[in-house]
Amino acid sequence: MRRVTRQDFRDLYEPVPKELADDIHAALAPLPERRQGKMKRKFTGLLIAAVLLALSAAGIAAAKLNLFSDMTDSANPIVPLEGAENLIETNLGSVENEWATVTVEQAAYDGQGVNVLARITPKRPEEYALFNSWMMDRGDMYDVSWEPDEVETGTQESNIIEGGVKIVNENGAQAYYEAGKEVAIPEGREAAMAAGCMIYREDGKLYYTYQDVIRVKGRKDGKRIVGFDMGLRSTSNDPAQDASFDGIGGDAEEQSDGSVLVWFDGIAERPLSDEIELELTVWIWPNGEEDPSGEVLETIAFKLKKSEAERVARYVPEDGGMIGDHVKVREVNVSFTKVRAYLTVDYDYEEQPDEVMGVWLHPYDGEGNPIHTGSGGCYGPDEGEQLGFYRQQDEMQSFDAIPDVIVLEAKVIDGDPLGRVACRLAEGE
């Protein structure tokens, strides 16, 4: 398998011209200074109060449904159905060390998707706070800065300029070559920018001239930071789980007691076994996220049972499934659970030169209201299982009563709608 790094992508593009920063300075110079003032928080405060009131009124059910908050906290939320909270398993495992206690607090598996909520609690919250890069958007809590990006140890080669570039930075040797010729490494960034050199040396270390990295310097309250990371993966040997969760995503949020809640959600491309095995891995870096010494590793293995029998419905498109003259819906299948629905649309599509990214099919109910969708993907005729037709799969809002009709609108991605077709529940379903 080929590994493509961030630097590989960066090497595809020329560095920032050194005069651009000066041009920006010149452009900003004649503009007036901005007035200093407090940010307007009044309406934000009211909104937060309203949300808290709603949550407290819902009580225990709301607390358990915190598991799904990533799904519901969206402009197009997918809201679990009433009764979904009964499907949530709790307290699935815990591990602790001198730095933290980690607990898998809630999880739900509906046969194709998994939601997990973990909590990591510092052992001595008065001494340090836990931090993960998912929390970096809290500019009110963290001092974030951009710092020079140090050149990795080893030898790097790139064709960023004609003739290529080579950087040697290992075993005490530091050297820089352009088109095969060694070039003296400038001392300091200013000198490197003046010379147009992509690296510079400072205090004996090499740094990239034209790029910085974002780092958390510390908390605004001065508390020490202990870095952590978590990853969730399936570990079953069941061949059915070869259709594994694609990119289990996550989010993290510090709570008022110093613990951090971490959400994971993942959806497989097809239904999996009645029971799956998962493993949560936790890394803790007592000396900060960038210092691997003292790294502590913990794992929590746990199993989840499919929480309910899914309700499966097949829909047949009207009018032969045609939408416009180059999209034809073959069949629609939907699996409904209390947590979400899984929409699968098989269709034929004749590529068009002005439809560069193809089309996407959006579901509506029988009254023309959009049905919210979430994560999804699409395979072409020659991809994946090579079905010979397109297959689009979406996470979708579920329903207690299986709809009699789902309307699909074909829309050019980043373009206009092409039309709609009604798909009716197959007889006998």
> Which residues contribute to the site for another protein (CB under 8 A)?
1-6, 8-17, 20-21, 23-25, 27-28, 31, 33-34, 36, 74-76, 133-134, 136-140, 142, 144, 146, 157-159, 162-164, 210-212, 214, 246-247, 249, 251, 356-357, 373-379, 383, 395, 413-414
CB of residue 53 to another protein, shortest distance in Å: 24
92 versus 206: smaller Cβ distance to another protein: 206
Report DSSP letters for 87-134, one per residue.
Answer: G-EEEEEEEE-SSEEEEEEEEEE-SSEEEEEEEEEES-TTTEEEE-GG
58 versus 413: smaller Cβ distance to another protein: 413
Residue 23 has phi, psi (to 5 degrees) of -60, -40
Q: Rounded CA gap, 121 and 392, in Å?
A: 40
CB of residue 311 to another protein, shortest distance in Å: 23
CB of residue 230 to another protein, shortest distance in Å: 15
Nearest to 395 by CA among 318, 338, 343, 345: 343
135 versus 323: smaller Cβ distance to another protein: 135
CB of residue 23 to another protein, shortest distance in Å: 5
36 versus 237: smaller Cβ distance to another protein: 36
20 versus 60: smaller Cβ distance to another protein: 20
Helix or strand (DSSP H, E) at 62: helix 42-65
86 neighbors 308 (Cβ within 8 angstroms): no
Helical residues (DSSP H) of 240-389, grouped into ranges: none
CB of residue 125 to another protein, shortest distance in Å: 22
| Three-state DSSP state, 66 | helix
157 versus 274: smaller Cβ distance to another protein: 157
Q: Which long-range contacts (CB under 8 A, 24 or more apart) does 133-137 make?
A: 133/229, 133/289, 134/250, 134/251, 134/252, 134/262, 135/252, 135/253, 135/254, 135/260, 136/214, 136/216
Q: Rounded CA gap, 182 and 421, in Å?
A: 65
177 versus 302: smaller Cβ distance to another protein: 177
CB of residue 46 to another protein, shortest distance in Å: 17
Please measure the distance between the N-terminal and C-terminal CA atoms of the chain and give it in whole angstroms: 44
CB of residue 360 to another protein, shortest distance in Å: 8
